Amino acid sequence: MTDSELLHARLHEVWRNRPGLGALSAVNHTSIGLRFIVTGLLFFVIGGLLAMAIRTQLAFPDNDFVGHAVYNQLFTLHGTTMMFLFAVPTLEGAAMYLIPKLLGSRDMVFPRLSAYGYWCYLFGGLLLYSSLLFDAAPDGGWFMYTPLTGPAFSPGKGPDFWLIGITLAEVSAVSAAVELIVSILKTRAPGMALHRMPVFAWAMLVVAFMILFGFPPLILASLLLELERAFGWVFFDATRGGDPLLWQHLFWLFGHPEVYIIFLPAAGLLSTMIPVLAGRPLASYTAVVIALVAVGFLSFGLWVHHMYAVGIPQLALAFFSAASMAVAIPTGIQVFTWIATLWPARPRLTVPMLYVFGFFFVFTLGGLTGVMVALAPFDWQVHDTHFVVAHLHYVLIGGMVFPLFGAFYYWLPLASGRLPSEWLGKAAFWLMFIGFNLTFLVMHLTGMLGMPRRVYTYLPGIGWEWPNLLSSIGGFVLAIGTAAFLIDVVLHFRYGRRAPANPWQADTLEWTMPAPPPPYNFAAIPEIRTRHPLWDTPELAEALHQGRGYLGHPRPARREILGTTLVDARPEQVIVVPGNTWLPLLTAAVTAAGFIGFLAKSYWLAALAFAGVLLLALRWAWSGPSLPARMQAAPGLELPLHPHHPRPPGWWGMLMALGADATIAASLLFGYFFYWTVTPDWPPPTMPASNLPLGLAGLIQLAASSVLIMLGQRSGGHRGAALCALLALLAASATLAGALAPGGIMPTRHAYDAIATAFATWHGLHVLACLTVGAVLAWRRQAPERRGQWRIAALLWHYTVLQGLALIGVLLLFPRLL
């Protein structure tokens, strides 16, 4: 055995998954990424079958293939599945699979978190579909508008399955976002400064931040609706001070960024593939990065364009209309950059290239109809008609499915080491392309002829027969094309020809690895000096294979990855990531049990399960090998191991997770002030006044606990300070509880009571987390490697105090200002 063979064998030993059922304990990004993708594709097939049923029903007037009740369930599950269980998770999976490989890292920073996210996603999807077993599939549309989905009009369990299953799947999206942000910012190969980062990493960085701020409003809205349904708390019931429009605001605060959360990863894939297929660099890397960041921001200013018909003042509609059109500018910048990249090139019409062209045609049309419906007066004409259905499918299938399928053909030779069939691939593309356009181009016309969405049938003689029949035929052609694609993918694992190394002559680091990639990706981490490492240094693959680079030492015994600085990617720490463990699966299973307990109204089970999650989380945080302070990361370079670094990855992870928490707090505040503008009596006369002096005393105690934590941290982790902070927090909570509700709050009485209780509950959950963490700090002895843990705990603590000051401060002071 040569030295390099020995190194690879040892790395394999450290990084491999366990065999057989033990593979379920895998946490490695390659395995988890592939699991996300495969599961996502399975849900895509299910969602597609639902679509076939819809098109069968609509093919003829007065058709009785399904009744109206089943039809409602069909379109609800179709939309929900495609958005939450296919599009987002599959793209996250692609990102998890590709990002470390593109960045020159061996894994993501929180492998257990990605595994936990995967299981939550799987359990959430299964929970949603288990509604079929109870004949209780949700039927309120994928956006679940209240009051239709409230307790009065949907007394069954359908909405509960939706709310609980989808929230569980969203936990997965938020955890993936935290994971992706920290991995992209902190584990790029040395020298890969921000201006050399692959565009796909830029796209995913923007998307991950969008998930962090976009998903929490929906998570909150789902929790509020579930509380209204299960316990009668008032949030959306207008007779008791609530407002159903709050649901629409919170839903679309998520829902519009969601469209770009789906499109931008695909745009990142396109920006990676197009230059390689054209054989030249992207026409303007900088312009694409500017466009990605701009879309990330602007997409948060569009949500009301889904609500043009609900009676909001015209000037406010104009703000959202303006932002909706403005977002077309950065999107156009990207499209024109891709065209400019391809313009002087003579790309071969390979299968990925066909999908790129398919994307151009379909997505651009979807973008143009998007600008049309961004105009409020036009939207009023086509609102809730099939025109909108056609538009959104052009955007989503054009903007996501075509690029994704192109990406499959582009990266399959890496993932499997084999080539799919060129013939079958092209046939699949053309069937999909023709079928798609037949279905949805015609559907614009159906909408213009006035056919509304979500109706299960129509009468003959109003001119809707032919367009509907054509759309249905096209839908089946599209389905046959998709089936051909899936067959090609499955068959190629067995019958595909062996792929040559770097078959597309690409410039990015993933093509330095053997195919399929080993679980550790790289035997050594490269030093990056250019934006196109493989074009500028083709000998890199061989050097890395020999273990020449960072962390290429000959006796690896732990899963080590390199931590680098945020902007310039200078090596700063060695991060030891955990190996195979059952903790993620176990924690996700217990989390799901809690959600099921809630669904079944077995609140003892829910309480028990959430206590279990807390215990498992402690075990999770506690476990970790004791590591030396420093190690040699390369000849002449000694680096600290992550527990000894002042900012370990966990600190960054906590910071990002708190960003999501802050969004929930901000959404709660939005709800409070929204009610104020629409509810005549706010606060209602039934609401007893709070005790201001006592409340202020409580806020001071709250702030004091933060000061104590700060002092404890300054003195290197003082246990006494943690204990005092703990007591101060307990005292603050008791004082504030007394101050806020001298006469009692009844969340079933009025929306004011309900949202005040929601404020208190959200703050209380954070207090609980701080108390747990504080107890651990007070209990464990001081040690230099625990400094990082103190920092992470302090971050959580200070955030909790700030959030408490804001939420409780509003409850105490705002009614006195009115």
Partner 1 sequence: MTAGLHRQFAIIVAPLIWAAHFVLSYALLSIGCALNWQAAQAFGLDLIRGLLLLLTVAAVAALLLLLGSARNTGHSLRIGSRARFMATIAGGLSVLSLIAVLWIGLAVVLIPPCR
Binding site for partner 1 (CB under 8 A): 193-195, 286-287, 289-290, 293-294, 296-298, 300-301, 313-316, 318-319, 321-323, 325-326, 329-330, 565-568, 647, 673, 676-678
Q: How far is the CB of 620 from partner 1 (least distance, A)?
A: 27
The length of the chain in residues reads 818
Query: CB-wise, 316 or 462, nearer to partner 1?
Result: 316
Query: CB-wise, 194 or 696, nearer to partner 1?
Result: 194
Query: CB-wise, 287 or 617, nearer to partner 1?
Result: 287
Spatial neighbors of 463 by CB under 8 A, at least 6 apart, are 449
Q: How far is the CB of 675 from partner 1 (least distance, A)?
A: 11
Residue type, 206: V
Q: Residue 516 in contact with residue 523, Cβ under 8 Å?
A: no
Q: How far is the CB of 676 from partner 1 (least distance, A)?
A: 8
Q: How far is the CB of 236 from partner 1 (least distance, A)?
A: 19
Query: CB-wise, 566 or 696, nearer to partner 1?
Result: 566
Query: CB-wise, 96 or 192, nearer to partner 1?
Result: 192
Query: CB-wise, 488 or 507, nearer to partner 1?
Result: 507
Q: How far is the CB of 677 from partner 1 (least distance, A)?
A: 4
Query: CB-wise, 4 or 565, nearer to partner 1?
Result: 565
For 188, list phi and psi in degrees, rounded to 5.
Answer: -75, 150
Distances, alpha carbon 38 to alpha carbons 114, 118, 143, 241, 476, in Å? 15, 11, 25, 46, 23
Burial 85-122 (b: 16+ CB within 10 A, else e): bbbbbbbbbbbbbbbbbbbbbbbbbbbbbbbbbbbbbb
Q: Residue 55 in contact with residue 475, Cβ under 8 Å?
A: yes
Query: CB-wise, 117 or 296, nearer to partner 1?
Result: 296
Q: DSSP code of 524?
A: S
Q: How far is the CB of 98 from partner 1 (least distance, A)?
A: 23
Query: CB-wise, 327 or 397, nearer to partner 1?
Result: 327
Burial 50-73 (b: 16+ CB within 10 A, else e): bbbbbbbbbbbeeeebbeeeebbb
Q: How far is the CB of 733 from partner 1 (least distance, A)?
A: 31
Q: How far is the CB of 747 from partner 1 (least distance, A)?
A: 24
Q: Write out the two tokens for 127.
A: 């929970």
How far is it, in rounded angstroms, from Cα 314 to Cα 318?
Answer: 6
Q: Residue 331 in contact with residue 303, Cβ under 8 Å?
A: no
How far is it, in rounded angstroms, from Cα 465 to Cα 64?
Answer: 15
Spatial neighbors of 785 by CB under 8 A, at least 6 apart, are 626, 627, 629, 643, 644
Q: How far is the CB of 341 from partner 1 (least distance, A)?
A: 18
Burial 685-695 (b: 16+ CB within 10 A, else e): eebeebbeeeb
Query: CB-wise, 326 or 617, nearer to partner 1?
Result: 326
How far is it, in rounded angstroms, from Cα 44 to Cα 164?
Answer: 20
- Please give the sequence-ordered ranges of beta strands (E in DSSP) within 372-503, or none if there are none: 418-419, 497-498
Q: How far is the CB of 300 from partner 1 (least distance, A)?
A: 7
Q: How far is the CB of 304 from partner 1 (least distance, A)?
A: 8
Cα Dmax for the chain = 83
Residue type, 1: M
Q: How far is CA 375 from the centre of its chain?
A: 29
Q: How far is the CB of 284 from partner 1 (least distance, A)?
A: 10
Spatial neighbors of 20 by CB under 8 A, at least 6 apart, are none
Query: CB-wise, 314 or 782, nearer to partner 1?
Result: 314
Q: How far is the CB of 647 from partner 1 (least distance, A)?
A: 7
Q: How far is the CB of 329 from partner 1 (least distance, A)?
A: 6
Could you tell me which of 412, 435, 406, 401 has the C-alpha nearest to residue 490?
A: 412
DSSP 295-308: HHHHGGG-GGGG-G
How far is it, in rounded angstroms, from Cα 372 to Cα 391?
Answer: 10
- Please give the sequence-ordered ranges of beta strands (E in DSSP) within 623-772, or none if there are none: 630-634, 637-640
Q: How far is the CB of 127 from partner 1 (least distance, A)?
A: 35
Burial 337-352 (b: 16+ CB within 10 A, else e): bbeebbeeeebeebbb
Query: CB-wise, 310 or 734, nearer to partner 1?
Result: 310
DSSP 112-169: HHHHHHHHHHHHHHHHHHHGGGGT----STTTT-TTTTSTTT--SSHHHHHHHHHHHH
Q: Residue 183 in contact with residue 103, Cβ under 8 Å?
A: yes
Query: CB-wise, 316 or 737, nearer to partner 1?
Result: 316
Q: Write out the two tokens for 588.
A: 């996700």
How far is it, in rounded angstroms, from Cα 638 to Cα 254?
Answer: 45
Query: CB-wise, 163 or 204, nearer to partner 1?
Result: 204
Query: CB-wise, 76 or 271, nearer to partner 1?
Result: 271
Q: DSSP code of 525?
A: B
Query: CB-wise, 332 or 716, nearer to partner 1?
Result: 332
Could you tell me which of 132, 201, 171, 134 has the C-alpha nearest to residue 509?
A: 201
Q: Is the peptide bond before 147 cis (omega within 30 degrees of 0)?
A: yes
For 341, list phi and psi in degrees, rounded to 5.
Answer: -65, -40
Q: How far is the CB of 160 from partner 1 (least distance, A)?
A: 32
Q: How far is the CB of 318 from partner 1 (least distance, A)?
A: 4
Q: How far is the CB of 197 from partner 1 (least distance, A)?
A: 10
How many Cβ atoms are within 10 Å of 77's Cβ, its own excluded?
A: 24
Hunting for tokens 């004949």 — which residue is that? 135
Query: CB-wise, 325 or 480, nearer to partner 1?
Result: 325
Query: CB-wise, 232 or 301, nearer to partner 1?
Result: 301
